[in-house]
Chain A
């Protein structure tokens, strides 16, 4: 069974097995590594751009900044895995769901598979897009606006939203089986937080257009 095309059958089959976190953790690790590469590229480009304005003794810290960004991105991916699972666990509990947190954690981990493909695409586009953006060094807010207003970065956001929908789709079936909910309630469990996040992303995107 393939979690990408038949998540219902895949998780149904997994329910008959013992909970195993190794594969989901590996998936999340791959996502985290791609996020780290992405963060390293962005931080590196920003640091390169601001390097002329920094004193020579601060140049060494610029490299450390890139590495710190990469490590932070890796850890944040694992934290997001736990947070997603925690939110789904709480909402599903309100809707009468029952089941082990560890199993839900493992199932939600499989939901990160589409993010691997999405991250690879968006990392490539980010690298291309960032290379053409002129940064404002005086004002970090202005710098963020410049990045977000760039058409390539807006494409990155849209692709990110589409792959997030795929992740949400897998998580619906993950919650359904791990928490013993019907399809409607598992749709609500996943739809509320993901829906709010996508709405926020969409509003930010429209504001920057």
Chain B
């Protein structure tokens, strides 16, 4: 019944938008509603374009006396206009009305009224959709085993189930007692029925039952907010899945090397295991092993690794030892990513007497200059002759 009424109104409306003014024929050429679909209380605009279709050069202008918009349920925030003026043949003129949809979900039909100097009018009805379907945020991946102090990846899916595009979507972790990387995600727009997946690396510092993610987005120029609670079962203490043993340092003229074993002390196999230096200014990773990829380590098994580095002399001038943070990344069998940092202490006394086989750099320069001089003289001599 409701749709039949809408259809009747539309059919009636289709007869309305043409008016003849002293021979000139004016029409509503187009209109644009922004946002195309409102949410309750959203502000927006409707822009109408009126065109005088009289042939060019005929001089059949149309004088517009009054332009007004009647809400029919939608609040019109722009006053109507009186004595607008003339519109020449083939000319167009735009009228923009600010509106607000203070209504529940449904379709509303504001009506445009254009009165011309000769008493003719245009009545034109526009459907305004109000739909309150919000952007939907769901957790697509939550690690089974999250621990305080350990970084875990939580994946979120943002779905736009609305009939129009939304813009400026921002999502961030709002819970205190945990840090996230990145601190927030920004998505410029999501098309109708579009889905975006994002991930946060969350490191909880205190016990909590849930993480709260806050979302904000724009429908047209209107900000809307939402949130998502992700229930988690945090466990105390970092899971001692990874244990480093047999750490040994070796030094030579080209730098230092750490060797050791990564032990899987957890209750399941680990995959994609990789070890590297965590960010530190005191150590400079060097070839051949700036990082070391191991791959899989079975439960109760271990794997050897080796890393090469140089000491940043500027940062360690007066130090007797340095703490080297080693970043270990791995996945569990569910594919959830984890990373943990283990620290090892390097006694700088070990670098005082490295087995120095190196040739000083000045000697390199001398050798090059000597060879260059001999070859240069031979070549030069050959051209002189």
Q: How many residues on chain A are close to B (CB under 8 Å)?
A: 32
Contact with A along B250-287 (1 / 0, CB 8 A): 00111001000000000000000000000000000001
Contact A162 B375 (CB under 8 A): yes
Given A8-B382, A151-B361, A173-B382, answer yes or no on A132-B375 (Cβ-Cβ < 8 Å): no
Residue B368 at the chain A interface, CB threshold 8 Å: yes
Distance to closest chain A CB from B156 (angstroms): 36
Q: Verify A8–B368 contact, CB threshold 8 A.
A: no
Contact check, A146 vs B367: say whether CB atoms are below 8 A apart: no
B359 adjacent to chain A (CB < 8 Å)? yes
Name the residue among A133, A145, A169 with the largest chain B CB count within 10 angstroms: A169
> What 1/0 flags go to B294-319 for Cβ under 8 Å of A?
00000000000000100000000000
Binding site for B on A (CB under 8 A): 4-9, 114, 121, 132-136, 138, 142-143, 145-146, 149-152, 155, 158-159, 162-163, 165-166, 169-170, 173
Known: A5-B381, A142-B287, A145-B287. A134 touches B371 (CB 8 A): no
Contacting residues of chain B (304-341) with chain A, CB-CB under 8 angstroms: 308
The verdict on A135 contacting B288 (CB below 8 Å), with A8-B385, A155-B367, A158-B368 known, is: yes
Contact of A159 (CB < 8 Å), options: B253, B367, B378? B367
Point out the residues of chain A lying under 8 angstroms from B252, CB to CB. Answer: 132
Expressed in whole angstroms, the Cα–Cα distance for A151 and B254 within the complex equals: 10
Q: Is the interface of A mostly helix, strand, loop or mixed?
A: helix
Is B211's CB within 8 Å of the partner chain A?
Answer: no
A194 to B254, CA, bound (A): 33
Closest to A10 in B: B382
30 contacts between A and B (CB under 8 A): A4-B378, A4-B382, A5-B378, A6-B385, A8-B382, A8-B385, A9-B385, A132-B253, A132-B358, A133-B254, A134-B257, A136-B288, A138-B293, A142-B287, A145-B287, A145-B288, A146-B288, A150-B254, A151-B361, A159-B367, A159-B368, A159-B371, A162-B372, A162-B375, A163-B375, A165-B379, A166-B378, A166-B379, A169-B382, A170-B382
Interface of B is mostly: mixed
Tell whether A6 pairs with B375 under 8 Å between CB atoms, given A134-B257, A143-B288, A158-B368. Answer: no
**Closest CB in chain A relative to B29 CB, distance in Å:** 62
Distance from A35 Cβ to chain B, minimum over Cβ atoms (Å): 19
State whether B287 touches A121 (Cβ < 8 A).
no
